[in-house]
Structure 1
Amino acid sequence: MELRQLEYLVAVVDEGGFTKAAAKMHVAQPGVSAQIKQLERELGERLLDRSGRTVRLTEVGRAVLPYARAALGAVAGARAAVDEFTGLLRGRVVMGGVTIPARLDLAEMLADFHERHPAVELSMTEMDPATLLDSLLAGRVDVGLTGLGAPLPPNVAAEVVLDHPLVVAVRPGHKLDGRSSITLAELDDLPLITLPRGTGLRTVLDGAFAEAGIRPQIAFEASEPYFLAELAAHGLGVTILPLPKARLHGDRLHVIELTRPSLRGQLGLIWRTDGSTSPAARALVAHARRHLAQRTRTEAAE
């Protein structure tokens, strides 16, 4: 049994097939298939069910997979220990995120990290909040940026990066136009335009509506705040946005303070705290926290 065979097995499972696994490992697909077949011959059991349109683990494969991950983790840990001893930082780190506000200047942060640690392979991918949290817990992502709303697992820490009041926004001429404030209860029976379930902002809203005993009328859902504002500006409903997002459309939307209760939308940096992170991942977390804290202070001063 070779380490490479275990790497290919885990890659096929994580990527959902041989083609994507081969691309991730930068090898030809037949090579991945051959190595896994060799592993199956050595173990005397099929690990993957190839009979359907998608590749799935067999019962034996499900039993073997945790040991494969543990073996790869042990090797990575040994390499990390040597790297820490010699002072060389290397490895691979992945950052995940939802739609990122431009004012956080994430590109500058990642470029600065790459310049400081050129031996670290750095990548980033956008994903929805639920997938981001699952990927973080599974170790496929090392640090993430996501909306905060629901409680996080005990082994995940969060640091608030952006914190803004939520406001109601309608187009000029709407029946709410001219109001300076509105309560949550007054939104009952109005067509609402919000982010999808699972996002931080939507979780905050759903919790507030549930506590007030209100079943909101959700007319439109979209993952991009800009599109929510566009829908409201065209008179398709009432939207609820963080104040800076609503102000971007000040000439087309009337902004109303949301009271009783006042709600806030938060974007947070999240990372694992269970000791399973590599030195490179810990360095990225520390670097991101410093950078984003500076951006937050700059925004507060403006």
Structure 2
Amino acid sequence: MELRQLEYFVTVAEEGNFTRAAERVHVAQPGVSAQIRRLERELGQELLDRSARTVRLTEVGAAVLPYARAALAAVAGARLAVDELTGLIRGHVAVGMVTSHDIDLPGLLADYHRDHPGVEITLTEGNSDDLADGLRQGTLDAAIIALGATPPPELELHVVTEDAIAAAVSPGDELAARETIPLTGLRGRPLISLPPGTGIRSRLDEACAAAGFTPHIAFEASAPGMLARLAARGLGVAILPAQFARSHADLRTLTIVRPALRGGLAFAWRREGPVSPAARALIDRARRHRR
């Protein structure tokens, strides 16, 4: 039994798909399949049910999975112990970020790379929900995510930015003369919002549900700039960070009240579990880094 066989088995179990698992471990799919078949022959039982479109664990596979994860964690822990004792910082750091933000992440990573050239850095984009899942599963070491109403208990957060969430309309909109709008004033109005899984959208959906209504989302876009342009054309009320909305001269910004909504961004990492010296060095630097 080899560690790579256990790694491939765990990865396929988590992805439910051989192709995605092969991409994640950077190995051709036939190689992943062959190694798992060898593991199954050694154990004398099939670990994966390949009969459906989605690969599923067999009963035996479900029983083996926690032991495979524990074995991989033990090896990772042994490597960490050696690296920490020798003061060695090397390896790989996987970082995630929300699609649109104003944090100087390139500057942070450039400074980190200058001091630790032996560490490979990878960067991926996604929405906050997907990034948080990546942190929990260990596929990401750290990520910039949007603040939600309830911070994920499994994650540590270092708040980087925080701002009110506002409504923005075109100068010709009937709301343009107002400075504030109660949350219930958005009921039934066409709203322009970031997609589900983003921090601002989660705050909006949660607040509207608590107020007893479902927001009418007329347009969705992943970039705040697109939301602003749609609102400026009179297509609805954009839900945006207040500071961002006020920076657009062709929009009128209304503060949402009763209740006031706030959003922001945070640098996040796992609260528990092994953290490599390379990842810990990046996290420590991020806590000291300014926007």
TM-score, length-normalised on structure 1? 0.87
What displacement does 1:20 show? 4.0
In 1, are the aligned partners of 2:8 and 2:35 still within 8 Å (CA)?
Answer: yes
Aligned Cα root-mean-square deviation (Å): 2.1
Q: 1:60 to 1:30 in 2, by over 3 A?
A: same
Note the alpha carbon deviations across 1:34-82, whole angstroms, 9 max, x for none: 2211111110001122223343322222221221121111111101111
SS of the residue 1:223 aligns to = coil
SS of the residue 1:177 aligns to = coil
**AA matched with 1:96:** G
Note the alpha carbon deviations across 1:122-174, whole angstroms, 9 max, x for none: 21211222222222111111212111123234332212111112222111211
Note the alpha carbon deviations across 1:239-277, whole angstroms, 9 max, x for none: 121123213421x21222333333222111111122432
SS of the residue 1:125 aligns to = strand
Q: Percentage identity across aligned positions?
A: 58
What displacement does 1:26 show? 4.1
1:87 is matched with which residue? 87
Q: 1:216 to 1:14 in 2, by over 3 A?
A: closer
**AA matched with 1:64:** V
User: Which among 275, 280, 283 is matched to residue 281 of structure 2?
Assistant: 283
Distance 1:53 1:207 in 2: 34
What displacement does 1:23 show? 4.3
Query: Would you say how many aligned residue pairs link Structure 1 and Structure 2?
Result: 291
**AA matched with 2:229:** E
Q: 1:71 to 1:107 in 2, by over 3 A?
A: same
SS of the residue 2:75 aligns to = helix
1:300 is matched with which residue? none
Distance 2:21 2:208 in 1: 44
**AA matched with 1:65:** L
1:148 is matched with which residue? 147
**AA matched with 2:38:** Q
Distance 1:28 1:177 in 2: 57
Comparing 108-117 and 75-84, the one that deviates more: 108-117
Matches within 5 A, 1:203-222: 203-222=202-221
User: Which among 262, 265, 289 is matched to residue 264 of structure 1?
Assistant: 262
Gaps of 5+ in 1: 296-302
Gaps of 5+ in 2: none
Distance 1:226 1:71 in 2: 47
Note the alpha carbon deviations across 1:211-250, whole angstroms, 9 max, x for none: 4344433322332212211221121111121123213421
Task: Kindly indicate whether residue 195 of structure 2 is the aligned counterpart of residue 196 of structure 1.
Answer: yes
What displacement does 1:24 show? 4.1
SS of the residue 1:176 aligns to = coil
In 1, are the aligned partners of 2:100 and 2:223 still within 8 Å (CA)?
Answer: no
Task: Kindly indicate whether residue 40 of structure 2 is the aligned counterpart of residue 40 of structure 1.
Answer: yes
Q: 1:33 to 1:127 in 2, by over 3 A?
A: same
What displacement does 1:116 show? 1.7
SS of the residue 1:70 aligns to = helix
Distance 2:89 2:62 in 1: 33
SS of the residue 1:236 aligns to = coil
Distance 2:29 2:175 in 1: 60
2:164 is matched with which residue? 165
Distance 2:200 2:133 in 1: 19
Distance 2:209 2:23 in 1: 45
SS of the residue 2:188 aligns to = coil
